[in-house]
A and B are shown apart, each in its own frame.
Chain A
Amino acid sequence: MVFGTRVLLARQWIKNPAFRKWMYNLDGYNKFGFYQNDLECLGQLPFHPGTEAVYAEALRRLPADEYDRWAFRCIRSAQLEITKTYIPESERITFEEDQTKGRYLEPYVKEILAERKEKEDWQDFLSK
């Protein structure tokens, strides 16, 4: 479950950027070399037939070089797990980088959700 999708009470302290940065470091997925969008993809095979998940379809739509980078990050994290180490502090993904590059799947996800909504709207319209 990703931090951003939980429903939160609208409190000022949660939106404080310093707090968010601290929370990001506490989450700690950057120690494994992951971006935020990678977490949704974990465990979802992109070319598996019948998968309804949105993130799997978004992974399928990635251009080839972006997909290769995702694969590299997964393999690197497996390697870190085996050797029981983390990525050194100096090379970890920073909070700012995660906000921009780490959301690389968002445009594709938005498009997929819009397509699904269009189909559902048509089905509603036809079933009336």
Chain B
Amino acid sequence: MISMKISRRPLNALVVKRLLSGQTSPKRSETEALRAPTLKTTSLPSGLIVTSLDNRSPITRIGVIVRAGARYEPQDQLGLSHTLRSMAGFSTKDSTVFGITRNIEYVGGSLTALTTRDDVIYVLENDGNYTDRNLKYLSDTVLQPAFKHWQIKDNLYRQKADLSYYRDSPQLVLIEALHSAAFRGGLRNSIYSPDFMIGKHSTDQLADYVDRHFVSNRTAIVGVGIEHNQLLERVDKWFSTMSRGDRGNSGQSKFVGGEARVDTNSDTTYVAVAAEGVGSKNQKDVLSLSLLQTILGTGPRVEFSDGSHTKLGEAVAKTTSEPFAVSAFNINYTDTGLFGITVAASAQDIHKAVKAAVTQLRASAKSISEEELKNAKHSLKATTLLAAEDQNVLVEELATQSLNAGQVVSLTDYEKAVDSITVQDITGLANKIVKSKGAMACVGKLQNAPYLEDLL
């Protein structure tokens, strides 16, 4: 006990304690007091945005987000972003794939790549002491990947495994089908490569894509568990060679609204009905729609319960006695989005279920009670704060906000913003959505599945 005290406190403090033996333990000095996590953002002159959240975590997570997601892949090279994501961690100009994998895993780290329609995010996660060793691999993967053609060929089996997981999840097939029907331009691209494009992407195509899109004004770097100045030093050391000119695709996209029907041999039919939502630039609109989504219900909170205790669930439960699932969704991209409902029900009852859900959506768009809104605000704040406990989710969220807006909304500001939404904000936006053109996708046995004209 005494030896521990000697190693932790300077000698004079120990002497003071022994003289004042009746005292309780001495006050902690300021440097030892717990600091709240600090969030700082810097915009570098090259266009790079650097954000750090110093929460004194022993694990440091560095995320690099680049505006090079599925919507920016050329329309004649579909699936390029899937191959790009699959090739993360393969040979770079200075390192081999074996070297990168072994070196990162030897210190217990991990390097992940994630693609959305807007962006691609690379996350390096490791113990804080080894960040310096591993940042070289992260920066080489982002800035100088080699895309050796035999490695692309050897890697095809992993892309095919991705695709077979995708085909086995009807919810994913549904959402991808919805996007391909609803949008014109980049946003119709799927984050999964089509079957006919596996093995058709060449080194030159990938290298050209990286060359045009991985530039500093399309990139943001996030560090969670690292101090801001340290992060800036490391960004300066490893990412200063990023080029600046932006020759990337504009990824322009417009909501056109259409229908997609995918026949499969599934007795459960999945239907998604949506209208154009809002882009992530307008925070108030995004929060209004998120609150509407919460009011309508996003499925049961308790796993494996029957889901009839949300507004949408109550409406659909009246139409079918078979198991069902219904949820509202709110997807936001930079300039546009989707807002709608997904319904999963047996193939016999799907028509009635979808009609009931859409009727409930229209009813909620017309009138929402203050009580409902208050509960929805509590619920939304809780969901967000609980999700922010997972630091991986936090890295992605900070990265997306840094790149979209150049700054991050702190959690307290977020709570205030949610509290400031009124019923008029929501119903005004919702009425506009309900009146606008719709888009629809159906997956499963479709003999009874409705068409858009049935729902008008």
Contacts and interface: CB of A to CB of B under 8 A. Distances in A.
Interface of A: 60-61, 63, 114-115, 118-119, 122
Interface stretch (B95-103, B131-139, B368-376, B436-444): B95-103
Contacts of B149: 63
Nearest to B102: A122
A110 B55 CA distance: 46
A60 B153 CA distance: 11
Q: Which 8 A-B pairs have the closest CB atoms?
A: A61-B150, A115-B96, A118-B99, A122-B102, A119-B98, A118-B98, A118-B96, A60-B150
Nearest to A125: B106
Interface residues of B, number: 7
A118 B150 CA distance: 19
A115 to B, nearest CB: 5
A118 B149 CA distance: 21
Interface in B138-164: 148-150
A60 B96 CA distance: 17
Contacts of B98: 115, 118-119
A68 to B, nearest CB: 15
B95 to A, nearest CB: 9
A18 B150 CA distance: 40
Contacts of A118: 96, 98-99
Given A118-B96, A118-B99, A122-B102, 9 more contacts: A60-B150, A61-B148, A61-B150, A63-B149, A114-B96, A115-B96, A115-B98, A118-B98, A119-B98
B107 to A, nearest CB: 14
Contacts of A60: 150
6 contacts: A60-B150, A61-B148, A63-B149, A115-B98, A118-B96, A118-B98
A60 B148 CA distance: 12
Nearest to B99: A118
A119 B96 CA distance: 10
Contacts of B96: 114-115, 118
Contacts of B102: 122
Nearest to B148: A61
Contacts of A114: 96
